[in-house]
């Protein structure tokens, strides 16, 4: 299954296109958009587990969306680093977590498990070419 995600800088909206049902979901937030996409795919029987647990979804993300996602993550990291221990520690204590990242590093989530293959993004049986036309004038 192919999902095209595109940020529209003119409206500051995210568009999620699913070609098999010819469905376009629009959201003001990328997180909310993925949550709505998850609900849509589950409710229509297109996936059996949530989108994070589904390995047969290929995402096609344009450059602007990629930049917005990276910037959002960098801003969050800066905010967490700048908050010091007081703000983050209070939140962590409230939810019973750890303020260090040692547990995160030990889990292997920080390690790279190989590179990206040549056909990882849109290769093979991708419908990206068809899906991308949805936004062309």
- Residue 18 token pair: 């699913």
Q: Of 34, 20, 31, 41, nearest to 131 (Cα)?
A: 20
Question: What is the per-residue pLDDT across 84-94, written as a single tens digit (0 to 9) for each?
Answer: 655 656 666 66
The 10s digit of each residue's pLDDT in 7-49 is: 999 999 999 999 999 999 999 998 899 999 999 999 999 998 8
pTM for the model stands at 0.57
Per-residue pLDDT of 109-119, as tens digits, reads 443 444 444 44
Query: If 0-12 CB within 10 Å is exposed, 13-18 middle and 19+ buried, where does residue 4 land?
Result: buried
Whole-angstrom Cα distance, residue 119 to residue 55? 15
């Amino acid at each position: 299954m192919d999902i095209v995600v595109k940020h529209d800088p003119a409206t500051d909206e995210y568009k999620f296109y699913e070609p098999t049902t010819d469905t376009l979901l629009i959201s003001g937030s990328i997180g909310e958009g993925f949550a709505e996409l998850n609900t849509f795919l589950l409710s229509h029987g297109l996936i059996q587990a949530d989108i994070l647990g589904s390995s047969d979804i290929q995402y096609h993300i344009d450059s602007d969306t990629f930049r917005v996602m990276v910037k959002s993550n960098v801003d969050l990291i800066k905010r967490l680093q700048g908050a010091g221990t007081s703000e983050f520690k209070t939140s962590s204590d409230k939810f019973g977590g750890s303020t260090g990242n040692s547990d995160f590093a030990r889990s292997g989530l920080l390690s790279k498990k190989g590179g990206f293959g040549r056909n990882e993004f849109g290769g093979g049986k991708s419908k990206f070419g068809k899906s991308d036309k949805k936004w062309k004038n």
